[in-house]
Amino acid sequence: MSDPAFQPLAYAQNLVVRGLIGLGLALPYRLRVPLLGWVLRGPVGRIAGYRQRAMQNLALIWPDIPLNQRKKIASESLDNAGRTLIENYSTAGFLARQSKLTPQGPGVAALDKAKAEKRAVILVSGHFGNYEAARACLVAQGYTIGGLYRPMSNRYFNAHYVQTMEAFGGPIFPQGRAGTTGFVKHLKAGGLLVLLFDQRAGSDYIDFLGEPARTALSAAELSLRYKADLIPFYATRQPDGLSFAVELEAPIPHSTPLEMTTALTRSLEARVKAHPGQWFWIHRRWR
C-alpha cells in the first residue's frame, strides 16, 4: 500500500464489515435486518469481544439480577446493534418505512413552534433503539436535521458510514475543531441538530445507572449559547423487530450545563430501564 498511514488490522476489519453489509443488502429488507441482528449477537459479537463487554457492563450495573437475564439483555443489545447497522445502510427502504411514522410526545409541539419562529433546536438521544429512525421520520415531516457525530476509530469504516448518515437528510459535522464552524453556522441559522451524548467523553462525571460516567456537557452548552430548545428524543424498536415508535419529550429547561445534562441522563436511564435490550451495552461507558 502506498498510503503511509495504512492500518492493516483496521483495513481488514472494515473489509469484513463491508462484506457483511453487502451480504445483507443483497437480501430483501425483511430478511436482511434480522440476519444482521443474528450475526452480531452470535459469531461476530463473540469474536469481536462485544458480548463479553456487554456482560461486563451488565455485571457492573445490575450484579443482582440472574445471570440468564443478563445474558438475555446482552443478546438483545447485540441483536439491536446489528439491526441498526444494516438499517442505516438500507437508505431507501429505511427512509420509506420511517416516513409513515408520526412522532409523538410533548416535544413535537415545541419543535413545531421553534420551526415557526425560526429558532434552533438540539435533539438529543443515546445509542438506544435506532435514533436514525427518528431523524428519518422528522425529515419526512419536512425538517432538515443536521448531525454532530464522533468519528469512529476505524477511519476506513468511518468514511463510508458518514456517507450513510448524510443520506438521511441533513449536513453531518464531526465533533472537534473540524466540524465546529459548520454546526455553529447551522444553529445560528435556526437549524436543527441531532446529538448523541452517551459515550465516554468530556471531563465531567454524572452517575448513569448508578455508576459515575464521564459525560460531555456540549449539548447543553450549545443549547444555552444559541438559545436553542434541548429536546430528548427516542426511536424505540417495536416487538416485530422492524418498526419503531418515535417520541419527543418536553424540552429540558435552561439552567446550567451540568443540571441540563443530568436531566438528559435521567431521561435516557428511564428508557434503558424500560427496554434494557435496546441500549448499546457494548460501549465502554464506565472506565
Question: Does position 1 have pLDDT exceeding 60, yes or no?
Answer: no
pTM, rounded to two decimals: 0.89
DSSP 280: -
Angle at which helix 91-98 crosses helix 131-140, to 10 degrees, equals 70
What's the Cα-to-Cα distance from 245 to each of 62, 101, 141, 286, rounded to whole Å?
A: 27, 8, 15, 28
Residue 187 confidence (pLDDT) = 83
Residue 48 confidence (pLDDT) = 86
Residue 65 confidence (pLDDT) = 97
Comparing CA positions, the residue from 176, 188, 197, 180 lying closest to residue 260 is: 197
Domain boundaries, the chain: 8-93, 102-278
Question: Does position 238 have pLDDT exceeding 90, yes or no?
Answer: yes
pLDDT tens track for 26-57? 999 999 999 999 999 998 899 889 999 999 99
pLDDT band (50, 70, 90) for residue 142: confident
DSSP β-ladder status, 211-215 and 172-174: unpaired
DSSP β-ladder status, 244-248 and 229-237: antiparallel
**Residue type present at position 270:** A
Question: Does position 218 have pLDDT exceeding 50, yes or no?
Answer: yes
